[in-house]
Amino acid sequence: MKTVLITGATGDVGTHLRRELAGKYKLRLSDRRPLKNKSKSESFLKADISKMSDALRITKGVDAVVHLGGYSVEGPWDGILKANIIGCYNVFEAARRNGVKRIVFPTSNHAVGFYRR
């Protein structure tokens, strides 16, 4: 069974995606926040994706990455820089270094706000 890493696994989208992929893939879940209610087919690694060492650790040995980690609301620039820009780079680069064959990066132009409501 192929292993899929979901970053940002404790968020809303990650939580729904876990249910959809359950039983179809072995799931490695990662987030900076603790995970509640892990199933037997899931493993969890707490990680700060703004640290390359953490990104390398969580991407090692997976077949695919669904990258959902990062701020989904407006916030302090330092936090957005670390999570959404540096973190994204680190996950992509770590996946490349670890030979991950597929990355899914779902997003929108409204992912972190910054538009008139």
The residue-averaged pLDDT of 88-111 equals 91
Architecture of domain 3-104: 3-Layer(aba) Sandwich (3.40)
Q: What is the pLDDT of residue 10?
A: 94
Taking 3-state DSSP, the helix, strand and coil percentages for the chain, each rounded to the nearest 5, stand at 35, 20, 45
| DSSP state letters, 1-58 | --EEEEETTTSHHHHHHHHHHBTTBEEEEEESSPP-S--TTEEEEE--TTSHHHHHHH
The residue-averaged pLDDT of 70-84 equals 87
User: Could you tell me the residue ranges of all domains in the chain?
Assistant: 3-104
Taking all residues of the chain, what is their mean pLDDT, rounded to a whole number?
91
Residue 101 pLDDT class (50, 70, 90 cuts): very high
CA distance 27 to 7: 11
Q: What is the pLDDT of residues 23-64, one digit of tens each?
A: 999 999 999 999 988 888 899 999 999 999 999 999 999 999
